[in-house]
Structure 1
Amino acid sequence: SGDRCRTPDNRPGECIGIKQCSPLIALLTQTTPVPKAVLEFLQKSQCGFEGRNPLVCCPIQNEVTTPSSTAIRQPENDVPIDASNHPNVRLLPLNICGQYNSDNKVWNGEKTKLFEYPWMVLLAYNRDGWNRQSYRCGGTIINEKYVLTAAHCVKDLPSVLSLAGVRIGEYDLQTDPDCMENENGDSECANSPIDYRIETTVPHPSYSPSNLQNDIALVRIRGKINFRTDSIKPICLPIGSDQTRNLLGQKLIVSGWGTTEKGTSSNVLLKVSVPVVSREKCESVYNRSSSLHPIKISSHQICAGGENDQDSCDGDSGGPLIFKGEVNSRPRFVQYGIVSFGPRSCGIKGFPAVYTRVSYYTNWILSTIRP
């Protein structure tokens, strides 16, 4: 461990690499863009270099655990409620969800093919004083009436913003229609994307922005989504044995347009594979000495990525983390996670992103949706 030092706010600290200092990492990752005051605090925190890497004076965490961090701890034997016999399973289109339309190889930040991930949704927002809408979050189609996204995309929005609608069947934001060449060299085109208005949004009743737990929400659209086109299909939810699958070490897929508060960073839908990281490893990264924001990773979350220079930067805030699963004993794509939070700078090496673990919420989803 590093030399003793004093933080800019005069607390005792030790001089260590910023990646070992989760209070400062937490400050950096909570908001985008990073406030000027935070950047100044970081500059003042600098206390030397190790090679080319700057060291920071990291506040020393007193060994007293704060009530907020212990309250979140789920018991270790905590397992999801099996949703396979829920009466509302009938509202899920199990026969057509999560179909494979690709060769399953995922490289980093690679463009998807047209029709590959037809469940992807963009959430459009109105901003006071602007006459055009902007995309600031993603989501997925789960049936003809509902889109799954993160609670932070629909609740406690800045007062100037309001959720306006969802766009489905999109692939390349710059072209309409979207076309690609098929094996025979012929051009194959998708139908134009469709914009739906919103009937209601249902954030999880226990969503807490302060501790980032239960970051999941449902958006019910006006009208009904038609699945007769190749560019619009639903994703499968984890049900039954998929709810308790051990994903540790597996490479899951994040897809998106890189949508965050700043808008989209790619015109074409991208995909990137991210390895699932253990809770312990993830928590130690975020909590080396976190007194500022004790970030607890609960069993209701998944950590993934941070292994190389890619992270869910290509993903959308509120968008999906998917993997092959089994539905009606057929291989299908199942959504295991929702992009919740993490280093917005595309995963600083060694910093995984944190996703809401959908399998713990399948029961809530089924109890919340209605025909």
Structure 2
Amino acid sequence: MKLSPVIVANISLLLGLQVSASEVTVKTANNQPGLSTAVINGERITSNQAPFFARLILHRQGSNSFADVCGGTIVNDRYIMTAAHCVGGDVFSNGWSEDDLRVLVKNPSGSDVYVQEFKDVKTITQHPDYDESDLWINDIAILELSYPITDNVQSITLPQDFGDYSAQSVYQIFGLGQTSSNDTSGADYLLTADVRPLTDIQCASLVSGYHSQETLCANGFPNKPYTGICRGDSGGPLTYLDSDGSYQQIGIVSYGSSVCESPSIPSVFTEVLNYTTWIERLTSSGTKTAYDASKAAFEDYYSEGDSGFEPQDTVVTETDSVGSSGGGLSPFLFIFLFPFSYLRRRCERLI
């Protein structure tokens, strides 16, 4: 079947539950930041520098609009890893369904995207012990793709031992979300930033109910511009550089401060090492992908999608919003989930 290149407009859907504008920014009664997800004070990079990064998209068949939901990482040619809350029931509301979920690899742009680049999702598996009412504990999910990835991308390396990263002084975060609390659109390119690992004791002192066995936390560096996650970064990776200069993923963005620039609440991540057996069992039918850097100079950033798509023409984008069938979502509407009354005041999920 011949496919015409159809470019779609990004709505930047950043959380899975529609709320009023007054609920977009949440603080505690004493005006301190609550818990909340682009990368604050990040550095712009190309997809070639993070070929393991993936995006979760909502897109209806036949529509010229899509909504960015979360980040993710490529486990192998058939599986994507992300946060469980990125594929929770509240995401599939306001007219969206699981059938609308897509994955986009390679292309980091929010304004130059073709519908043929999207990959269909076959199955969604949340961790069986995921609990959004308990600070999103076990916040991890695996997506099985309908067709294997054929792009020049890289499978992320998973950790094998806590000692591999416990002594590291610098971690990295990646994302396409908001670049500040006042940003209403998110980045149009992939961002990365260095963050400072905190100890379990430090994390527990900053986050009430912190789960030290299941999560990691990190913050910005003292006396430097603050770096951290913001709305739109959920599901993306926390990494460190190993001795070979390769990224190993040790965490998945879960939650953080609703005031993204505030260091009083750290960025919190699901600790991947606790789930490697579960991940490997679910993804064993896939094949690891290997990035070929020698091809980078001859490639554009468009993905082949499920059909080997190759755009021939430049198409001007239009800022279309999802129609009434989409639950009344408007461009750049940030949507926050508050699982119970305490977290409504104190916490935000970081889609």
TM-score range, shorter chain: 0.5 to 0.7
Structure 2 unaligned regions, length at least 5:
1-16, 34-38, 286-351
Higher normalized contact order (CA 8 Å, seq sep 6+, divided by chain length): 2
Pick from 176, 193, 196 the counterpart of residue 272 of structure 1. Answer: 193
Please list, as runs of the form range in 1=range in 2, the aligned pairs for 1:186-265 lying within 5 A after superposition: 194-211=117-134, 212-227=136-151, 229=152, 232-239=153-160, 241=161, 243-247=162-166, 250-258=169-177, 265=186
8 Å contact from structure 1 (residues 238, 334) kept in 2: yes
In structure 2, the partner of 1:162 is 97
The alignment covers a number of residue pairs equal to 255
Q: Which has the higher strand share?
A: 1
1:280-321 CA-to-partner distances (Å, cap 9, x unmatched) read 11111123xxxxxxx222222100114452211287111001
- Deviation, 1:259, is 6.4
Pick from 106, 110, 114 the counterpart of residue 173 of structure 1. Answer: 110
2: CA distance between counterparts of 1:127 and 1:357?
33
Relative to structure 1, the CA distance from residue 248 to residue 342 in structure 2 (aligned partners, 3 Å threshold; closer, same or farther) is farther
In structure 2, the partner of 1:150 is 83
Pick from 35, 43, 61 the counterpart of residue 110 of structure 1. Answer: 43
SS at match of 2:125: strand
- Deviation, 1:279, is 1.3
1: CA distance between counterparts of 2:219 and 2:18?
20
8 Å contact from structure 2 (residues 242, 248) kept in 1: yes
Runs of 4+, deviation exceeding 4 Å: 31-42
In structure 1, the partner of 2:235 is 318
Larger radius of gyration: 1
1: CA distance between counterparts of 2:200 and 2:26?
31
1:227-282 CA-to-partner distances (Å, cap 9, x unmatched) read 5x2xx22211112x3x443435621110111169x985000111111111111111
1:30-88 CA-to-partner distances (Å, cap 9, x unmatched) read x997985898995xx45xxxxxxx689xxxxxxxxxxxxxxxxxxxxxxxxxxxxxxxx
In structure 2, the partner of 1:365 is 279
In structure 2, the partner of 1:340 is 254
Output the amino acid matched with 2:189: V
8 Å contact from structure 1 (residues 135, 264) kept in 2: no
Task: Give TM-score, length-normalised by structure 1.
Answer: 0.60
SS at match of 1:350: coil
In structure 2, the partner of 1:305 is 219
Please list, as runs of the form range in 1=range in 2, the aligned pairs for 1:13-52 lying within 5 A after superposition: 36=22, 42=28, 45-46=29-30
- Deviation, 1:322, is 1.0
Question: What's the Cα RMSD here?
Answer: 3.7
SS at match of 1:280: helix
2: CA distance between counterparts of 1:316 and 1:193?
24
Relative to structure 1, the CA distance from residue 169 to residue 38 in structure 2 (aligned partners, 3 Å threshold; closer, same or farther) is closer
2: CA distance between counterparts of 1:40 and 1:110?
27
2: CA distance between counterparts of 1:139 and 1:285?
26
1:181-230 CA-to-partner distances (Å, cap 9, x unmatched) read xxxxxxxxxxx983100000111000000111100000000111125x2x
Relative to structure 1, the CA distance from residue 127 to residue 225 in structure 2 (aligned partners, 3 Å threshold; closer, same or farther) is closer
- Deviation, 1:153, is 0.6
Output the amino acid matched with 1:323: Y
8 Å contact from structure 2 (residues 186, 232) kept in 1: no
Output the amino acid matched with 2:123: T
2: CA distance between counterparts of 1:313 and 1:38?
13
Structure 1 unaligned regions, length at least 5:
1-30, 47-53, 57-105, 178-191, 288-294
In structure 2, the partner of 1:349 is 263
1:6-32 CA-to-partner distances (Å, cap 9, x unmatched) read xxxxxxxxxxxxxxxxxxxxxxxxx99
